[in-house]
Amino acid sequence: MRIDVVTIFPGYLAPLREALLGRAVGTGLLDIAVHDLRDWTHDVHQAVDDAPYGGGPGMVMRPHVWGEALDDVLAADPRPARLVVPTPAGRPFTQAAAHAYAAQERLVFACGRYEGIDQRVVDHYAASMPVDEISIGDYVLVGGEVAVLVVVEAVARLLPGVLGNPRSAAEDSFSDGLLEGPAYTRPEVWRGHAVPEVLRSGNHGAIARWRRDRALERTAERRPDLIAALPPDALDEADRAL
Ligand SMILES: Nc1cc(-c2ccc3ccn(Cc4ccc(CN5CCCCC5)cc4)c3c2)n[nH]1
């Protein structure tokens, strides 16, 4: 998969070169290119923003610099791409979206700053390619870069060969619609807190049941919306008895 990121703060994307993702880039599983939007400005001030039409707070990123940058970035590789534009007003990014993105040959991320990017940029490219405006949560960041780090990590870990343990992604939270329950490792007792007995019993049926129960309890407590969204046949009798 090829990933391009266009931003006025390329340094913000440095973590993509670290650890898990750094290895994926090094082994050729992932090809990441970060571009400085200001490379496509022509004025001495390298201006990328201007006051919003209709008034309102802050500044908006001008369309012409974005158009020149995205035209060049898109033309640099023949693979079909999906343009992803983080914004507080975007569609929520979910694990399902991460799986969909992991199937893409190429993702191009446009990182806005200020109060966002002139809407005509999204509208222009949406006429010739898939464009997603996405939110990573109901809080307001200062720009799109952190959202790109989140999305790239969530997508890259789903790519075969990127994670050391492929089972981990398959058994993710949300993979069965529930939050995962508590996890434990050695020592057996830590500061007076013992590991739940069942996990050391070797009784795999009882362990599976216990884990399911803890996941259901935690999900009901922290994310009742996920319980409500479960398909009717998702909960068996033992679940309902909980
Ligand atoms: N999930 C999530 C993604 C982002 C995100 C992503 C990309 C950018 C680019 C710029 N910002 C900052 C920002 C600040 C405030 C607003 C709202 N403002 C209200 C008044 C009228 C104009 C718009 C919009 C953008 C971004 C923020 N935050 N949270």
| Whole-prediction pTM | 0.94
Any residues with CB less than 8 A from the CB of 72 and at least 6 apart, and which? 40
Task: Tell me the torsion sign for CA atoms 36, 41, 42, 46.
Answer: negative
Residue nearest atom 22 in ligand 1 by C-alpha distance:
115
Query: Which residues belong to the active site?
Result: 88, 115, 157, 172
Residue nearest atom 24 in ligand 1 by C-alpha distance:
115
Q: Ligand 1: does its nearest atom lie under 6 Å from the Cβ of 140?
A: yes
CATH of domain 171-241: 1.10.1270.20
Where in the chain are the domains?
Answer: 2-156, 171-241
Q: Which superfamily is assigned to 2-156 in CATH?
A: SPOUT methyltransferase, trefoil knot domain (3.40.1280.10)
**What is the full DSSP assignment across 92-145?**
EP-HHHHHHHHT-SEEEEE---TT-B-HHHHHHHHTTS-EEEEESSSS--SSSH
Phi then psi for residue 31, to 5 deg, are -120, 110
Identify whether the C-beta of residue 86 lies closer than 8 Å to the C-beta of residue 144.
yes
Tokens, residue 231: 């398909």
Angle at 147 between CA 118 and CA 114, to 5 degrees: 35
d(CA 178, CA 192): 29
Q: Ligand 1: does its nearest atom lie under 6 Å from the Cβ of 112?
A: yes
Task: State the Rg of the chain over Cα.
Answer: 22
Give the pLDDT of the chain (242 residues) as one tens digit per residue: 999 999 999 999 999 999 878 888 888 899 999 999 999 999 999 999 999 999 999 999 999 999 999 999 999 999 999 999 999 999 999 999 999 999 999 999 999 999 999 999 999 999 999 999 999 999 999 999 999 999 999 999 999 988 777 766 666 766 689 999 999 999 999 999 999 999 999 999 999 999 999 999 999 999 999 999 999 899 988 888 88
Task: Tell me the torsion sign for CA atoms 209, 214, 219, 221.
Answer: positive
